[in-house]
Amino acid sequence: MRRSHPPRTALITGANHGIGLALTHRLLNEGWEVISLIRSAFAEDDPLIGQALSSRQLRIYKADLSDFGQLRSALQDINRHEAYIDVLFNNAGGSFPELFLSKQGRELHYELQTVVPYIITMELKPLLLKGTLHTVVNTSSNAFMMKRSFDPASLERPAKFQMLTGPYADTKRAMSLWTEAVASELAAEGILIRSADPGGNNTLRSGKKSGIPFWLRPITRMFFPAPAHGAGLLYQAALGEHSGRSGVFLHKNQVTPLKFSEHGSTILKNVQAIYEREFVQTNSAL
């Protein structure tokens, strides 16, 4: 009797809203199994999600990713209960309306969008190596592409705050830069990593404060595409024409050079140090 191949499995952070939810829907419809690492619940009135939860095609692990204690517990559970991961989508993030600090005392965009994707990637390497695609896709942004300056020393504690083009854009750039810098190291272990811009998407939610400037919100609602657009670009980043590339930044699904690449190794050393000092060593002491 011929055995069918095991289903492909993706882990998606931020899987319950916006681009992450659209990507979850697409993969479930294509027969993938999806592991969601999320802070809040899926909508209860989503029939596809409900069916996938009942069949265990979709599995949920909850944590506030910016809280290292919660993140550590969730990643331990994932490593304990899951068999393999084919594609890791480090997608969680967001543009905040003002300056916030994480539980660890760093600017929240930096913690969530630069540091945490590195931690998740490092902690889930064993499961990625047990899969077949061995691929990591980090959700980046085009918000930094028009900026003429970049100061990596200000990432942890910026002197000033600006919506969208301030810490949000800088920390997305920083994430793409460490992705580029770490690629050769991960490739030697058999893992491919890329960052991808999902483009502009209407991810505004009623009743939720947003870091989108007020003048841009009506434009976003009227002219930006639905989150399925961004999900499609992340899907292509994982499985499309550039699926054999590592370390690249994809903008409109095209390999695009990153400005300020000379800072990539410094940013990588900084996130590595945070990971080793505050995550690995703390975990060993527990």
DSSP for residue 98: S
DSSP for residue 107: B
pLDDT at 40: 94
1 is a domain residue: no
Q: pLDDT tens digit string along 52-90?
A: 999 999 999 999 999 999 999 999 999 999 999 999 999
206 is a domain residue: yes
pLDDT at 281: 78
29-33: which pairs have CB atoms within 8 A and are 24 or more residues apart?
31/7, 32/7, 32/8, 32/57, 33/7, 33/8, 33/9, 33/57, 33/58, 33/59
Q: pLDDT tens digit string along 192-236?
A: 999 999 998 766 566 566 666 655 666 666 667 789 999 999 999
189 is a domain residue: yes
For residue 20, the enclosing domain spans 9-285
74 is a domain residue: yes
pLDDT at 18: 92
4 is a domain residue: no
127 is a domain residue: yes
pLDDT at 267: 98
2 is a domain residue: no
pLDDT at 2 over 60: no
> Average pLDDT for residues 171-191, to the nearest whole number?
98
Q: Any idea what the CATH number is for the domain that residue 20 is in? A: 3.40.50.720
Number of folded domains that form the chain: 1
3 is a domain residue: no
Cα 279 to chain center, whole Å?
18
List the strands of the sheet with 33-38, edge to edge.
58-62, 33-38, 9-13, 87-90, 135-139, 192-197, 249-251, 254-255
